[in-house]
Amino acid sequence: KRNYGYDLNELLKKPVDELRAELLSIWGIGKETADSIILYAAEKPVFVVDRYTIRILSRHGLIDDDYEYDDIQKLFIETLPKDTRIYNEYHALLVNIGKNYCLKKEPRCENCPLGIMLDR
């Protein structure tokens, strides 16, 4: 209720940087959750970095173990056009690959659409 009188739309109208800072100030909301709210609820162009994205990039040798969320996000933001629909679709594709191929314990690399990118 702080400044918005229970009106979520008022909160979501804020510029991305202000909205992200406001969301991160709420106990229990981290970067991934804040960015998901910004991308999916506010429909603003922010790339969401989740466990699937990290696992896929790590297995393909694109990030080190000492990665930072903001560095991974910057990689996508600098590589892809700044477009909400593209970020949404790209994130959905990574989630699909993470759920169906790049599994945590038993990856299915042989059938993965990204398998051609792996060093074997």
Consecutive H or E run containing 69: helix 69-79
55-72 pLDDT per residue, tens? 999 988 889 888 899 999
Beta carbons of 46 and 38 less than 8 angstroms apart: yes
**pTM score:** 0.86
7-45 pLDDT per residue, tens? 788 888 899 999 999 999 999 999 999 999 999 999 999
**What residue segments make up the domains of the chain, in order of their start?**
1-44, 51-119
Task: Decide which of 2.60.40.10, 2.30.110.10, 3.30.590.10, 1.10.1670.10 is the CATH code for 51-119.
Answer: 1.10.1670.10
Report, as an integer, the average pLDDT of 86-103. Answer: 96
CA distance 34 to 102: 25
What confidence category does residue 119 fall into, taking pLDDT thresholds of 50, 70 and 90?
A: low
